[in-house]
Amino acid sequence: MRMFSERRRIELAILCLAAFVQLCVSVSDDFSPESEKELIHWDDSICYNGTSQSPTNITHTIPASEEDFHKFHMPVGNKELQLYLVNNNGSVAALVGPKPSCTPDGDYGEYFNSIMFRWPGEHAIMGQKHDFEMILSFANMADPNKNRNHLDKSILVVILANIGKVHSELEKIVAHLPLVTRPYSETKKMGEFNETLDLSKFLSHSKSFYQYKGSISKFTCNEPIDVRVFKKPITVSLHQINQFRKLEKSDGSKIVESFREQQALNDRKVYSVDI
């Protein structure tokens, strides 16, 4: 029995490592941890005990300046990001191939890792949620494995979206969602997903933002990490959101919604920067 426990412990540790390697590249239909219950139970997961968890409802804020934070700039211009899509009981765009440097003057948020999608949005501003949300992960190293102890040099960029006009950059991803309708499917074959994404096009013209110490909103819920929520939402079409809703869970049902419930702010401070 003891040998079995030790073996099981090793297996679970490997599974946890694999979950972290995906970092933000895994989205479930909700945060009910049915498939992850054993993992969460065995390690007393920070997902339930953490005090700096995301998402949250942004209500009271403290005025701040952009200079008060680490220097970080979203990539501007045509970045050739080779992506593949993964449906792991949800949907994600996961970066493969060379990870371009985004911040030339330092290692804070230096490399773009992934995009996670939520429908409806997770974060709320004064109690108001949005129709869709994209969470872009930037780490200090190209290999997420090496980022485990460097959350202080990583940042999650949250882009809010409401229903409106078609978003041309998002459409490049949406057009390929039928390839990953089934759970645990991915577009890794050459030519299945061959697009050039410009991350700067996911931002609105306003660069004002909120920033607080939060977490990855998916297991393993690592905290604390800088979370930057851009204030002005972009627009995506209802048709685009509906394509995400067509993705399937392992039981064959559609993923109508994909979000984590809001977490208590506790004593954290949320800063407001107007640019």
Section 52-59 average pLDDT:
96
pLDDT for 200:
87
The residue that leads in pLDDT, 144 or 265, is 265
Query: With 50 as the cut, is the pLDDT of residue 11 above it?
Result: no
pLDDT for 243:
96
Residues 18-50: tens digit of each pLDDT: 333 333 333 333 333 333 333 333 344 788 889
Query: With 90 as the cut, is the pLDDT of residue 5 above it?
Result: no
Extended strands (E) in 82-173: 83-87, 92-95, 111-118, 124-125, 128-129, 132-139, 155-163
Query: What are residue 123's phi and psi, to 5 degrees?
Result: -70, 150
* Long-range CB contacts (within 8 A, 24+) of 5-13: 9/42, 12/38, 12/39, 12/42, 12/43
Quickly list DSSP for 242-269: HHHHT-B-TTS-B---B-PPP---TT--
**Tokens describing residue 210:** 């909120």
Rounded CA-CA distance 94/115 in Å is: 6
In angstroms and rounded to an integer, the radius of gyration of the C-alpha atoms of the chain is 18
pLDDT for 184:
83
Q: Of 244, 237, 240, nearest to 92 (Cα)?
A: 244
Section 152-178 average pLDDT:
94
For residue 117, the one-letter residue type is F
pLDDT for 255:
92
Task: Please answer whether residues 24 and 156 qualify as being in contact, where contact means their C-beta atoms are separated by less than 8 angstroms.
Answer: yes
DSSP β-ladder status, 124-125 and 57-58: parallel
| pLDDT confidence band for 7 (50 / 70 / 90) | very low
The residue that leads in pLDDT, 6 or 179, is 179
pLDDT for 153:
80
pLDDT for 209:
97
Query: With 90 as the cut, is the pLDDT of residue 159 above it?
Result: yes
Q: Of 235, 228, 168, 175, nearest to 198 (Cα)?
A: 168
The residue that leads in pLDDT, 189 or 57, is 57
Section 129-140 average pLDDT:
91
Residues 187-224: tens digit of each pLDDT: 877 667 777 788 889 999 899 999 999 998 887 788 99
Q: Mean pLDDT of all residues in the chain?
A: 78
Q: H helices within the chain, ranges in order?
A: 2-22, 37-42, 46-49, 168-174, 238-245
Break the chain into its structural domains and give their ranges.
Answer: 2-273
Section 152-176 average pLDDT:
94
Query: With 60 as the cut, is the pLDDT of residue 1 above it?
Result: no
For residue 231, the one-letter residue type is K
The separation between the first and the last C-alpha atoms of the chain, rounded to the nearest angstrom, is 61
| pLDDT confidence band for 141 (50 / 70 / 90) | low
Residues 119-133: tens digit of each pLDDT: 999 999 999 999 999
User: Exposed, middle or buried by CB within 10 Å (0-12, 13-18, 19+), for 248?
Assistant: middle
pLDDT for 61:
98
User: Exposed, middle or buried by CB within 10 Å (0-12, 13-18, 19+), for 71?
Assistant: exposed
The residue that leads in pLDDT, 110 or 265, is 265
Query: With 70 as the cut, is the pLDDT of residue 173 above it?
Result: yes
Section 246-275 average pLDDT:
93
CATH architecture label of 2-273: Roll (3.10)
Length of the chain: 275
| pLDDT confidence band for 267 (50 / 70 / 90) | very high
